[in-house]
Every structure is written in structure tokens, then in C-alpha cells.
Amino acid sequence: MTEEFQNCWYEGNIIAIREGESCRLPDEPEYEALCNSLSKVKPVVSDASLELSQGLGFLPREEIVSAKVQCDADERLLLFQAEGVSSPVGIFTFNVGDSKSYTLVVYPKIFDDPREGLRTLFYTIERVLLEKTGYSLTVKLTRLEAGGENLFDIWMRIIYLIYIKVLSRELLKGAYHEYTRVVWEDPRVSGKILVSKQVRRPVTGRLRIIQESYPYSLDNTLNRVLKYAANIAYRRLLGMGNIANEAKRILSLFSDVRLDPSSVWVKFEFNRLSERFEIPYRIAQLIIFAKGLPGEKMLNGILIDMNVLFERYVYSLLKQQLRGWSVEYQKELGFASIWGKRIKQRPDLVLKHSQNNTCIVLDVKYSVLTSSYEPSLIVDRLKQHVDDLRQIFTYHTLLENLDESGCSKGAVYSELIYLAGEGASSGYARSVYGAYETVARQKCFKVTLLSPKAIAEAAENPAVSAMIEEMIAREVVDIKGCG
């Protein structure tokens, strides 16, 4: 790895690259061939992967998103680009030629070490999915070094776990049935006789009548895809206890469904009865095509907006820890007039006390901050984040003056929560707080810095995880006493 491009990391066919940066591939024949191939055809993230990412809540649904990977053949510079996503990270597989597949990892920019960044990313995903699905994935994420499990294996195991848990939840409400056409021949009539076909057949030997029926069946295209993916997951999860047994129960439930590989090529159209299986279906596609299709120039995986993921992470912490408070995500507060335009306002989180109607508005920021105390640098940083201050002040003012909010007059408080890069300290929090008091003239405001290192440690230590939950909840609620 060159000194100039320390944001690259390689392990066999796995390439890790820091979010928003390019990386120089090694001067080796394999990577040269990879870059030459990518310079001719730029693989794009598949529609199924984008729909899955939005369905899991990792991307804003209202945005039009596209992403691709490309390489400069002369400089061997690999670059991942995404439109419609402000801080894109993720893990993808793609093919080069007919047999060679690669895993591309785009890890968060606030980490220098990709392994630590991925541990934190996996843990944050797990935490958000726990809040969203009610299930803990309980995956050990420590074996990321060469010689242990590679990143692709760990990533796919998480996908298998998500799939089995999400599919099980939907199957508890009942499996999907549909009327399917069945044609058969029999001397006994038990269905509709296909006269047009029967008259063309010469009568020889015992009479066999061609007929059809439309039974209400489990054996349909959707369930064949779900079963095919469940079978892959079951074989990969053997020996993992309860989750393997859960996968086996799914296969037992689908015992009358054909294990038909050709079904995965048939596009399934969802209706109001089947739409609840859309997310399991998207994950099933990801499992089936994880290694990519021969000759297909598609990135299959999950694309994540770190801004959205961090918002949902803090949301899950507060929902877990706060008692006596309602916690609303992306609550609409009406419109604000900004530069002559009416813009709908949705703060990241709004908390409301169940008894005294005290309200707290939170804005959650994924950002890279530094620790320097140089006055000029502090001013520069404050200029960079002046939009954050204006945004939280707008939310605060709207919430305070909105009759439908139900908040007590004079009991609205504000806070900015940053996931700050290593080295950020309380000095930055104090400087932002001072600027806010000056600009917005609000006494009850607070800035909290959440260290990515602490989240990385929480991924390995449940005690640290619980401590972070309590700290965030306590600091948020404590701003009521700010004077």
C-alpha cells in the first residue's frame, strides 16, 4: 500500500476504500486486469440492491439514487460514486469476466482503520435492524484479519441472518398463496377439459384426458425464490443453533414448493396480498446473486447513507433507554420560508414527555471534526457548521410556535448530536454552544459528541453499548435544566 493512498486495503479479492475517496490499486497483473475491465464498463448498483437498501431504511425513499464504480486505467485509481446519497458506504460484489468476482467495501470516512470502520458499520446496522425487526443478529465481528473469516463471509452471514429473521416474521402472519395453472393428463376428470388439445390427440390405448385447474397453491414464483434463498442460507448457517433451526422450519413450511432455479429469472409483480414479502424477496435476490451473474456488470449488495444510518442508530438508542417519553423520527413540523421558498421541515428526532409535554428537538449529524483549539480554525469550523445551527434553530422555533405540536409553551429544548471524527473534543462542543447562544439567543441548547471509537468498542462489549445508550439518553434529557 503506498503512503500516498492509505485509504486502500486489500485482502485477496476484497478491496476496501474509504468513503468519498479514490484508492490506487497495487501494481500487480490481477489488479491491472481488474482496472482495465472497469475502465471499459462501469458497473452500477442493481435496482434490486437499491430497493432493498431503501426498504431496510438505509436510504431515504424519496431520493432518486444511483451508484457506480470506475477505474482510471493509467493511474489505477479506483473510485466509487453515488448520486442522491450524501455519505455513501456499503458492501458490493461484482464480476470481471465470466468467473472472477470481487467484493468492494466502502467504509466510513471517520475511520483510519477499515477493520474498525467495518466493525462499527456492522454493529450500527445490527442495532438499527434490532429496532426495526425486533431481532438481534448476535454476530461476532472480531475476525476481520487475514487468515480468519474474510469480509465477504461475515457480510453474507449477516445477510443470511437478516433474511431468515425478516422472512420468519412475515411467515408468522401466513404464507403467500396464489392461483396457479396446472395442466395434467388423467383418465378421470377432475378439472377443466382442454378440448382444443384433446381433439388433436389420436386415440391409442387407454384414454387420457388433458385437463387444467387453478389450485390455491403455495407453489408459486414468489415462494420458489424465497425457498431457494432459504436453502442457501440454511446450508451456510448450519451449526449456528436457533437460527439454523429457524431456517429449517422455513424449508419445512415450503415442503410443497419446488426448488426450481429457473424461477429466480422470472420477474415477480407484487400486489396488495404479496407486498409484505417485498423486503424478504429483495434480500433473497441479493443472496442468490451475491457472487454476481456471469458477464453481468452489476454491483449487488447494500448501499447505505451514513447520515440516515446514524440518525436511526441514535433513534434506536433513545427508544431503548427513555421512559416516559415518546420518540418520533422525521416528524413533520410544517413549512418554513427560506430564501422565498416554502420548505417542509422534518427534524431528525422529536421527543415529548408524556406528563408535562416538555419537548426536545434533536438534529443528528455524521461529521468529521478536529480537535485544534486555534481560534482561527474554530471560526472556520463554525462557518462550516453554521447551517447546522440555522437548521436546529428553525426546528426549535417551529416546534415552539406550532399549536398542533402539543408542547408546553416555554418548554422546548434543542440539541445537536455529532458522530465526530477522532480527536474532536468538548472544546468544539463548547464553541458551537457559544455560537448558538449568540446567533439564536437560546439558553437551553446542547451539543453532544459521540465518538466513533466508543461505538467500535460497543460492537465488541455489551457493557460499553449499554453505557453509550445511558449516556446519550441522560445528556439529551439533562438539557431541560440548562437554565
Q: How many CB atoms lie within 10 A of CB 206?
A: 6
At residue 479, the pLDDT reads 63
> Are 376 and 251 contained in the same domain?
no
Extract the C-alpha cell encoding 401. 410556535
Residue linked to cell 410556535: 401
Look at strands 192-193 and 209-213 and give their pairing. antiparallel
> Are 336 and 445 contained in the same domain?
yes
Extract the C-alpha cell encoding 245. 433451526
368 belongs to a structural domain: yes
**What angle is formed at CA 364 by the lines to CA 362 and CA 370, rounded to 5 degrees?**
125
Domain limit, last residue, from 253, 272, 306: 306
313 belongs to a structural domain: no
Mean pLDDT per 10-residue segment, the chain (483 residues)? 52 81 84 85 82 80 84 87 89 72 83 76 78 56 45 72 86 89 76 73 72 84 92 84 86 90 79 87 79 66 88 85 83 63 74 80 75 52 66 76 66 72 50 51 64 73 76 72 49
> Are 195 and 231 contained in the same domain?
no
Residue 405 CA to its chain's centroid (Å)? 30
- What residues make up the domain containing 201? 181-214
Number of structural domains in the chain: 3
Q: What is the sign, positive or negative, of the torsion defined by CA atoms of 106, 112, 117, 119?
A: positive
Residue linked to cell 446473486: 289
Look at strands 349-353 and 359-366 and give their pairing. antiparallel
> Are 78 and 113 contained in the same domain?
yes
Task: Give per-residue pLDDT as tens, 358-376.
Answer: 888 888 888 765 544 455 5
At residue 483, the pLDDT reads 45
> Are 271 and 368 contained in the same domain?
no
| CB 145, CB 180: distance < 8 Å | no
